[in-house]
Amino acid sequence: MGASTLRLLVGLGNPGPEYERTRHNAGFWFLDALARVHGAQFRAEKRWQGDLARARVGDRELELFKPMTWMNRSGQAIRAVADFYKIAPADILVAHDEIDLAVGTVRLKFGGGAGGHNGLRDTIAHIGDEFWRLRLGVGHPRDKTQEAGPMHEEVIDHVLRRAPREEEEAILRCVAEAVELMPRVIEQGPQKAMNRLHRKQADASGKAEPESAGDEARGKKADEPKQD
């Protein structure tokens, strides 16, 4: 399989300093780290309601985009940028937090549903589901407590809070690993890079990482801060 056709890398998150270090902003962390490594500078683009940068990764010029519309309205901003640059969904990679992966795990995936993630849900509503996803594991609240209570509220609290130091460091390590992987994604294509990444992480853990259990394991969807 040849080089990828990726042209637009998107990171999902919520704007504002109060959300900067929350688990839900892992997608922003990835793009910020990628921009630092490749010497790119984000600029605010009001017409697209987000921050945009251009980075040279390997032999490819890529657009990096962070929607500032709040998580549950990410799709409209992504669609606007994709339409302007005439970028097909299959040439877009969206980085996001994933509660159905263990803390510090990173996975590449093409297509599929939203799995209860509001940012993915809105993105799918605007560009369809045939785009690449970079899933950054932040763990599930069920892993921390067996207390009875609405899972919906537990998920919201989990993703909109900062992780403990050890967990945050693990998430940042997987972000760094994903940044290191990107030149290979560009040169060899996401599928080949995905196979290498998954094999490497399985070897490191001593066993295959279980795949997401989907909507059923997640329970109800995690809502974002309500903004009109």
DSSP assignment of 96-132: EEETTS-TT-EEEEES---TTBHHHHHHHHHH-S-SE
* Cα separations in angstroms, 35 against 40, 48, 183, 217: 5, 19, 13, 34
Residues assigned a catalytic role: 24
Three-class secondary structure of residue 155 per DSSP? helix
Q: Which stretch of DSSP H or E encloses residue 82?
A: helix 74-85
Under DSSP, is residue 149 helix (H, G, I), strand (E, B) or coil? coil
Which residues lie below 8 Å from residue 27, measured CB to CB, with a gap of 6+?
A: 10, 11, 12, 13, 66, 94, 95, 96, 97, 119, 134, 136
